[in-house]
Chains A and B, each alone.
Chain A
Amino acid sequence: MSREKKTVWELERFALEIRRQTIRELHSLGSGHVGGCMSIVELLAVLYGERLQVDPANPRWEERDRLVVSKGHAGPAVYAALALRGFFPLEQLETLNRPGTKLPSHMDAQKTPGVDMTTGSLGQGVSAGVGMALAARMDKRSCQVCVVAGDGECDEGQVWEAALFAAAQGLDNLTLIIDQNHLQLDGSTDEVLSLGSLEEKLRAFGWQVLSVEDGHSIPQLRQALSAAWSGKDGRPTAVVLNTIKGKGYPAAMRGPNHHMIISDGDFEEAMEALAQEEQRLREREEAAGCTR
């Protein structure tokens, strides 16, 4: 399962498709956690497009890189990425949250192929990722463990317990990616519980810290994740992504978007915006002389 080299265009198109499939999936249900799904779409494209060594034919392959999405409500976006990557058929996305589904609102490792840890109660996935990294080190496996947490999630004390412990254990096979979209359910992170600088806090906790100015920029994400995967200096690595909650779903920009009703009109508007974005990508790709 060697890592495939992808072009930036390929990853951008992959991100666009993850976004499109996620919106379709949520629209088929009529509502969902749009905001937190949209803000990690480009991250998922880089992770599943080239960074994570995984095998869709063998989701439990022992040497795979592990991904724990601690902000478990982003499940629908992860399911879209997994389906596009071949872990299960795309049609299955329309079973989201239906009775007996393998794709529940919050992620369940016992139900969904490719999901490495059950999450949903915020903060807990960070500890689980730390435990997985500790176990991987005990077993001398070369895989990486990657945890994705929200910035609002960092209100949870458990995140900081885990941060302290991971640094004390020197888990340099662990990368914590924080989706810093500056919003949580009840408002902005400043209004609800000011977090200050997550970078400074994590540095003070003994982590190597990288910042990504634009968490929707594929080149910036690639560079940061590459550095995180290769930076073996006895410290865990945190990557703080500056993102936009609801990014790429126009209706999300008009009000609170943590959990939204997805009307047919808003859905059509989003599909149209994505078609235009796809056209822009194609034109840019052609202008740059890239071939498919």
Chain B
Amino acid sequence: MYQIAERYPLDGAEMREIYCRTLEECMEADPAVVALDADLMTPLGIAGLWKKRPERIFNCGIQEANMVGVAAGMAREGKKPFVHTFGVFASRRACDQIYMSCAYGGNSVCIVGSDPGVASALNGGTHAPNEDIAILRACPTMTVVEPADAQTLRCLIPQLAALPAPSYLRLFRRQRPRIYPETETFSIGKAKQLTQGEDAAILACGIEVYEALEAAARLEQEGIRVRVLDLFSIKPLDTQAVLAAARETGAIVTAENHNILGGLGSAVAELLAEECPVPLERVGIRDQFGQVGPMDWLMEHYGLTAGDITEKVKRVIARKGKK
């Protein structure tokens, strides 16, 4: 079904394996790195590391607010905490703790929210974080990132540990296609350009990067050349790359596994409206709650597939030059 499946094969390791392995490396390199969880160590695959390093990894039980507050206190004392729970609880349940004890209080904690958007799949609407980017992007000093593949994740973790202010890592736990070679490096705030093109640009993050690449491949067969940008760093946004894409292609499509209100599409729209207004179409969940279902079905239901992106690209190109 996917034309690009051979070029970007499924990674042998799950994202959570990469997360745990990289975090362990960070712990070995830096005694200040610690991890906290709220009874979701098993789904994250970190339970083994917890047994191995009980002095550095703490299971707080099912209490997200306290976990984030404890992490803030540890950060105050020079620790570098990584705090994990499902994205819904990380962003909604512990929002005030992230805002006041971490960000406003100047305490650098990396909040890891797993199972973004449709990745909540069979856990359903109660567990679908469709608004976590919006919530945390509005918090001053926060960095918000969503990696598309294992290599991106691997590179981001040590950078998140070193940040002077809190951050949010939107983590897909299972296998992802390998988009980048193992030699690729990433910097927070700097987008990655994956394809060349002048007709339009697709700006995507997380699982939508692969969909964007597939859309670009399909469009190329119709003679439409599209630039794909991986905006894994949603905040800070690579304004230079976004504005260059707008100026050089004149048509932008954003794609995110998130509500179109407040997420990547909003961030791009805000920038373009102020600096370089060009036709824009947003692919994302259109202000709806999540629901239970297999991820593929949910992607189709909410219009997050390569096919949906392809249609939006055609529509945005048709709008070029019109008042």
Can you name the residue of chain A whose Cβ is closest to the Cβ of B100?
Answer: A121
Give residues in B with beta carbon < 8 Å to A.
34, 55-56, 58, 60-61, 63, 65-66, 68-79, 96-97, 100-101, 104-106
Residues of chain A within 8 A of B70, CB atoms compared: 127-128, 130-131, 134, 162, 165
Can you name the residue of chain B whose Cβ is closest to the Cβ of A159?
Answer: B66
**CB within 8 A of B66: which of A108, A133, A158?**
A158
Asked if A124 is at the interface of the complex by the 8 Å CB criterion, the answer is yes
9 nearest A-B pairs in the assembled complex, by CB-CB distance: A131-B73, A127-B69, A161-B66, A118-B105, A135-B77, A128-B73, A131-B70, A161-B63, A131-B74
Would you call B78 and A110 a contact (CB within 8 A)? no
Asked if A132 is at the interface of the complex by the 8 Å CB criterion, the answer is yes
5 additional A-B residue pairs with CB within 8 Å, beyond A127-B68, A164-B61: A127-B72, A129-B73, A130-B70, A134-B58, A134-B73
A-B contact pairs, 23 of them (CB 8 A): A108-B105, A109-B106, A118-B106, A120-B100, A121-B101, A123-B65, A124-B69, A127-B66, A128-B69, A128-B76, A128-B101, A130-B73, A131-B73, A131-B74, A132-B73, A132-B77, A135-B73, A135-B77, A135-B78, A161-B60, A162-B66, A165-B66, A169-B58
Residues of chain B within 8 A of A4, CB atoms compared: none
B211 CB, min distance to chain A CBs, angstroms: 39
A129 to B77, CA, bound (A): 10
A68 to B69, CA, bound (A): 12
Residues of chain B within 8 A of A129, CB atoms compared: 73
Residues of chain A within 8 A of B71, CB atoms compared: 131
A164 to B17, CA, bound (A): 31
A139 to B32, CA, bound (A): 10
Point out which of B74, B77, B78, B96 has the most chain A C-beta atoms below 10 A from its C-beta: B77
A164 to B55, CA, bound (A): 19
A123 CB, min distance to chain B CBs, angstroms: 8
B149 CB, min distance to chain A CBs, angstroms: 33
A281 to B206, CA, bound (A): 69
A106 CB, min distance to chain B CBs, angstroms: 9
- A 172-200 binary contact with B (CB < 8 Å = 1; else 0): 00000000000000000000000000000
**CB within 8 A of A117: which of B66, B78, B105?**
B105
B48 CB, min distance to chain A CBs, angstroms: 21
Would you call B55 and A127 a contact (CB within 8 A)? no
- A-B contact count, CB below 8 Å? 103
Q: Given the known inter-chain contacts A121-B100, A127-B97, please indicate yes or no for A116 contacting B69, CB distance below 8 A.
A: no
Can you name the residue of chain B whose Cβ is closest to the Cβ of A129?
Answer: B73
Point out which of A108, A131, A139, A161 has the most chain B C-beta atoms below 10 A from its C-beta: A131
- A 107-151 binary contact with B (CB < 8 Å = 1; else 0): 011100000111011011011111111111011000000000000
Would you call B105 and A109 a contact (CB within 8 A)? yes
Would you call A161 and B73 a contact (CB within 8 A)? no
Asked if A157 is at the interface of the complex by the 8 Å CB criterion, the answer is yes
Would you call A130 and B66 a contact (CB within 8 A)? yes
A5 to B65, CA, bound (A): 40
Residues of chain B within 8 A of A135, CB atoms compared: 73-74, 76-79
Residues of chain B within 8 A of A127, CB atoms compared: 65-66, 68-70, 72-73, 97, 101
Can you name the residue of chain A whose Cβ is closest to the Cβ of B63?
Answer: A161
Would you call A138 and B55 a contact (CB within 8 A)? yes
Q: Given the known inter-chain contacts A117-B105, A118-B104, A124-B101, please indicate yes or no for A132 contacting B76, CB distance below 8 A.
A: yes
A29 to B79, CA, bound (A): 38
Can you name the residue of chain A whose Cβ is closest to the Cβ of B77?
Answer: A135
Residues of chain A within 8 A of B60, CB atoms compared: 161, 165
Q: Given the known inter-chain contacts A127-B101, A128-B69, please indicate yes or no for A117 contacting B77, CB distance below 8 A.
A: no
Residues of chain B within 8 A of A123, CB atoms compared: 65, 69
A168 to B63, CA, bound (A): 13
Residues of chain B within 8 A of A121, CB atoms compared: 96, 100-101
A114 CB, min distance to chain B CBs, angstroms: 14
A91 to B79, CA, bound (A): 35
A109 to B104, CA, bound (A): 10
A138 to B104, CA, bound (A): 25
Would you call B72 and A128 a contact (CB within 8 A)? yes
Point out which of A109, A127, A134, A168 has the most chain B C-beta atoms below 10 A from its C-beta: A127
A130 to B79, CA, bound (A): 13
Residues of chain A within 8 A of B77, CB atoms compared: 131-132, 135-136, 139
Can you name the residue of chain B whose Cβ is closest to the Cβ of A133?
Answer: B73
B318 CB, min distance to chain A CBs, angstroms: 49
